Amino acid sequence: MRLVLPNPGLDLRIPNYEDLNRMDKEEANDRPKWDNKAQYILTCVGFCIGLGNVWRFPYLCQSHGGGAFLIPYLILLVLEGMPLLLLEFAIGQRLRKGSVGVWRAISPYLTGIGIASMLVSLLVGLYYNTLIAWIMWYLFNSFQDPLPWSQCPLNDNGTEFVPECQQSSTVDYYFYRVSLNSSASIADSGEIHWPMVVCLLAAWTVICICYIRGISTSGKAVYVTAILPYIVLAIFLIRGLTLKGALSGIEFLFTPDVDELVKPTTWLDAGAQVFYAFSIAWGGLISFSSYNPVHNNCMQDAVILTAITGFTSVYAATVTYSIIGFRATEKYDGCISENIMTLLNAFGLPEDNITASNYETELNHLNSSYPDTVLGLDIKTCDMHKLLSEGVEGTGLAFIVFTEAITKMPGSPAWSVLFFIMLLCLGISTLFGNIEGVVVPLKDLNMFPKKWPQEALTGTTCVVAFIISILFAQQSGLYWVTLFDNFAGSVPLLTIGLFELIAVVHIYGIDRFNEDLEFMIGHKPSIFWQISWRFISPLIILVILVFYLVTQAQEELTYLVWDPNSVEFPTLASVPYPSWINAVIFFLAGVPSLAVPVYALYRLIFSCCRKKKCIQKKNEPNL
């Protein structure tokens, strides 16, 4: 398909090859650049590898057929993720501008894509940094023994534990009540929880200092934030494999269930995960690659990054599930012991009569001899499968499942510190790309006075973002974060990705793009890239987008709340959203997605009006 829309004046807006070579030789100091290639690769790796690799991918893997899920994941990684990655790298390196600048250079009507990227980066950055604030809170609280989430507080007269803690668990109580002080609904904002404000302040200050001079400071920080998680994961892997039950967790994760491959939801979830995993359409990657020398081999970079992302996802999933397996085994053993005790106490049998090995046979024996008594005891069934699948996605994984597992390990504070430092590094390195995708477009859009140095830009952005994110420090903050997670980071990214592909292939021109790549790396991209850019990737994204919109429109919007008064407590209750939430969802998902056509339309009208005025002026007789 060689459909290319007319794009007059393109050559005037972009530097030509001679200019590029000259700029490369002269090393014009106006634009920041990487100290070395390793810094660039590490920054991109840090940006792509984030919290989602630890708490979203393992859950998807396990719930969609274990080892079998790797097949759609890896296929879509190569067919959908890699082409888009190379597209962003190449366009940034060629046009040497941030996301707004690049799209504005391709066509002024397309500036909307850059604006949309900026809005998405901003909205996602706000809630992502709140997650970092929660991680920091847990990190600060890990420097004590025993860990605060291993014990329940006593009630007023000291006879028993607080009922909310008694009914749920110490870790649940600590997360929902002590850390967040959650209310029971998103409409009930409650008051601002000051420990959270303090942690938000810490989070935004840390980001500010790391990015204060742009990539010259963040480029140094990534040496730590990108490499440390791998080391910590290795330590946890070794520790995890020595714990009892780790292998059952890993087995559970990777046991393939080939039937899942037939279901379309598996492929759709894999596609969506690949898309978000690569942090495409946030604008950060375009910015980062624009600081590269012109002849940097971006195709190699795209392939390397894809391989690293795939490997890290599997690696993190293995570690996560070894720990989950350990926790599930501990809980299972505890459940069985409890049941054994109940039976022994009820029937007055000596302690050795029933052990874990003969539990089943003895239970059946007693049930057949004294069915009424056994029924009256209310023995809980201990289900290993259920224990392995509970609470293993999202924030629940890190703050509830993992923290509980850590309390059961000897030397808990050390493991807790390590774990939360790893999460912190993963999150901060992603935020570098995020804040790059916010500050650089704002600069390109001339939102800041030109005289301001980089420090002032970073500082202003962080201060404003901190003030807005105090929204998440309210008692309903958890529900706002979930809302943002579901809507700000899903549909807009898919639409922006689609627009990017269309813009480069049809408005910039795929032939011109191929020539650019030949100029930059020395050879034209092979037939694989051509087909993916033109057909496969846009098709995949379109299918995911349509399917997602259709399912969302059909379902009633509900969310999970922590409500001690609900019937299902301690399980989270599913409650429908209030009606005003639709306006918020439209703002989060609709505004960035619609920014592209709206801006193009606005520009069209604006230039039409100007042309009319010009023509009018020309036609007016000279005064």
Partner 1 sequence: MFEKIFFLLCLSTALAEQLCRPEASDGYRVRLSIKTALGDEAYVWNDNEMFLFRATLAFAMRNQISGQEFEVSNIIVCDETPRVSFWFVVTSPQNTSQLVDKESVEEAVRKSRNRINSAFLLTDKTLEFIGIPPTLAAPVNPDTPPWLIVFGLVMGAVGAGIIVLLASSVVQKKRKNDEKPDDEEIDEETRVKTVENSAASEGIYNRSFSDDERFTHM
Provide the annotated binding site for Na(+): 46, 53, 426
Cα 102 from Cα 110, distance rounded (Å): 9
Cβ nearer to partner 1, comparing 159 with 579: 159
Cβ nearer to partner 1, comparing 91 with 435: 435
Among 5, 16, 17, 144, interactor with partner 1 by CB under 8 A: 144
Provide the pairing of β-strand 558-561 with 573-576: antiparallel
Cα 334 from Cα 62, distance rounded (Å): 24
Cβ–Cβ < 8 Å for 472, 251: no
Among 38, 154, 608, 609, interactor with partner 1 by CB under 8 A: 154
In angstroms, give the least distance from the CB of 232 to partner 1: 18
Residues contacting 578, CB < 8 A, separation 6+: 185, 186, 187
For 532, the token pair is 């993916």
- Among the candidate windows 44-52, 133-141, 514-522, 546-554, which touches partner 1 by CB under 8 A? 133-141
Q: Judged by CB under 8 A, does residue 189 bind partner 1?
A: no
Q: Judged by CB under 8 A, does residue 141 bind partner 1?
A: yes
Cα–Cα distance list, 216 to 32, 34, 210, 322 (Å) = 8, 8, 9, 38
Cβ nearer to partner 1, comparing 223 with 347: 347
Cα–Cα distance list, 429 to 116, 128, 171, 182, 265 (Å) = 22, 11, 27, 28, 30
The H or E element spanning position 574 is strand 573-576
Cβ nearer to partner 1, comparing 404 with 500: 404
Among 159, 554, 565, 622, interactor with partner 1 by CB under 8 A: 159
Q: Judged by CB under 8 A, does residue 373 bind partner 1?
A: no
Cβ nearer to partner 1, comparing 230 with 347: 347
The footprint of partner 1 on residues 328-367 (CB under 8 A) is 341, 344-345, 347-352
What single string gives the DSSP state of each residue in 144-169?
SSS-GGGSPPB-TTSSSB-HHHHHS-
Place of tokens 């501990």: 330
> One symbol per residue from 196 to 215: x for binding partner 1 (CB under 8 A), - otherwise; what is it?
--xx-xx--xx-xx--xx--
Cα 398 from Cα 59, distance rounded (Å): 12
Q: Judged by CB under 8 A, does residue 418 bind partner 1?
A: no
Of the candidates 186, 242, 203, the residue with the CA atom closest to the CA atom of residue 487:
186
Longest alpha-carbon distance in the chain: 114
Cβ nearer to partner 1, comparing 145 with 515: 145
Cα 308 from Cα 47, distance rounded (Å): 12
- Among the candidate windows 15-23, 146-154, 437-445, 505-513, which touches partner 1 by CB under 8 A? 146-154
> One symbol per residue from 455 to 484: x for binding partner 1 (CB under 8 A), - otherwise; what is it?
x-----------------------------
Q: Judged by CB under 8 A, does residue 151 bind partner 1?
A: yes
Q: How many helices (H) and strands (E) does the chain have?
A: 31, 2
Binding site for partner 1 (CB under 8 A): 29, 136-137, 139-141, 143-144, 146, 148, 151-154, 158-161, 195, 198-199, 201-202, 205-206, 208-209, 212-213, 217, 341, 344-345, 347-352, 453, 455
